[in-house]
């Protein structure tokens, strides 16, 4: 007798997409992202895929008459998406630095980061390689230190990105679209 559902195991790094806030979101697992809205653009190669993080903060409620907490008070929630972009492009720098200006010249492209306080939030989308799940992170801002390590040999330069999610107006911070479980 099977203890789980092998068909529910998700493998691979999947695909990452980016769009401006308010872009139309996918509602199913079959319509291509670009058909949902031309604003969804694929981010390209990553070093080791991406990671969604979710942390619920809480504090125990204690009273003098009990040894155990009598309740748990929720005090916060932190959510994020982390990845290292493996393509050093002006558009990927713009993603990592929350905006900026890209200017095309003769044989070159220049990037300048946004002025402090001019950063823009974005939407991030994820799709699994087997197309059985899609995630939409509705309001994300790159935070923390962006590193671009340079090393010898086959170690490639990467743009390390850590995005935090905030709650958009009238929506939850994210949604997941998952394939319905199949019966064995």
- Dist. CA 69–CA 64, nearest whole Å: 10
Contact at 8 Å (CB) between 34 and 42?
no
Residues 6+ apart with CB under 8 A from 60: 69, 71, 72, 73
Region 94-119: what's the mean pLDDT? 95
Q: Nearest-CA neighbor of 99 among 85, 113, 84, 110? A: 113
- Tens of pLDDT, residues 68-98: 999 999 999 999 999 999 999 999 999 999 9
Determine how β-strand 41-42 pairs with β-strand 133-142. Answer: unpaired
Per residue in 116-173, pLDDT (tens digit) is 999 999 999 999 999 999 999 999 999 978 878 888 888 888 999 999 999 999 899 9
The token pair at 29 is: 């697992």
CA distances from 166 to 80, 131, 146, 169, 179 (A): 9, 26, 19, 10, 26
pLDDT confidence of residue 184: 46
Q: What's the confidence (pLDDT) of residue 46?
A: 94
- Domain spanning 12-178, CATH class: mainly beta
Sequence ranges of the domains in the chain:
12-178
d(CA 2, CA 183): 12
**Contact status, residue 134 vs residue 120, Cβ threshold 8 Å:** no
Residues 27-75: tens digit of each pLDDT = 999 999 999 999 999 999 999 999 999 999 999 999 999 999 999 999 9
Burial class (CB in 10 A: 0-12, 13-18, 19+), 161: buried
């Amino acid at each position: 007798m099977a203890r789980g559902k092998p068909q529910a195991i998700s493998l691979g790094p999947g695909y990452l997409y980016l769009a401006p806030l308010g872009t139309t979101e996918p509602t199913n697992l079959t319509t291509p992202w670009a058909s949902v809205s031309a604003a969804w653009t694929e981010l390209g190669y990553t070093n080791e895929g991406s990671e969604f993080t979710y942390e619920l903060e809480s504090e125990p409620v204690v009273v003098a008459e009990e040894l155990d907490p009598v309740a748990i008070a929720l005090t916060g929630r932190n959510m994020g998406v982390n990845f290292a972009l493996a393509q050093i492009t002006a558009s990927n720098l713009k993603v990592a630095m929350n905006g900026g200006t890209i200017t095309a010249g003769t044989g070159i492209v220049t990037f300048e980061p946004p002025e402090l306080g001019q950063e823009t939030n974005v939407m991030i989308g994820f799709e699994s390689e087997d197309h059985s799940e899609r995630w939409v992170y509705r309001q994300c801002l790159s935070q923390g230190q962006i590193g671009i390590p340079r090393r010898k040999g086959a170690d490639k330069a990467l743009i390390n990105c850590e995005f935090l999610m905030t709650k958009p107006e009238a929506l939850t911070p994210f949604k997941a679209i998952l394939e319905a479980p199949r019966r064995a």
